[in-house]
A = this chain, B = another copy of it.
Amino acid sequence: MSRVRVHNFSVSLDGFSTGEGQSLDAPFGHAGERLLDWFFQTRTFHDMHEKSGGATGVDDAVARAWGGDIGAEIMGRNKFGPQRGPWEDHAWAGWWGPNPPFHTSVFVLTHHPRPSVEMEGGTTFHFIDATPQEALRQAREAAGGLDVRIGGGPTTIREFLAADLIDHLHITIVPIVLGRGERLWDGLEGLEKRFQIESVTTPSGVTHMTFTKP
A210 to chain B, nearest CB (A): 10
Interface residue ranges of A164-214 to B (CB < 8 Å)? 173, 175-180, 183, 185-192, 197-201, 205-207, 209
Are B179's CB and A192's CB within 8 A?
no
The answer to whether B173 touches A207, judged by C-beta atoms less than 8 angstroms apart, is yes
Instruction: Give, as a whole number of angstroms, the nearest-CB distance from A163 to chain B.
Output: 16
Query: Does B175 contact A189, Cβ atoms closer than 8 Å?
Result: no
Q: Is A65 an interface residue (CB 8 A)?
A: no
Q: How many residues of A contact B (CB 8 A)?
A: 29
Identify the closest chain B residue to A197 (Cβ). Answer: B175
Q: How far is the CB of A196 from chain B (nearest CB, A)?
A: 10
Partner of A14, one of B15, B175, B180, B199: B15
**How distant is the Cα of A55 from the Cα of B150 in the complex, in angstroms?**
40
Residue of B nearest to A177 (CB): B191
A residues with CB within 8 A of B = 11, 13-15, 173, 175-180, 183, 185-192, 197-201, 205-207, 209
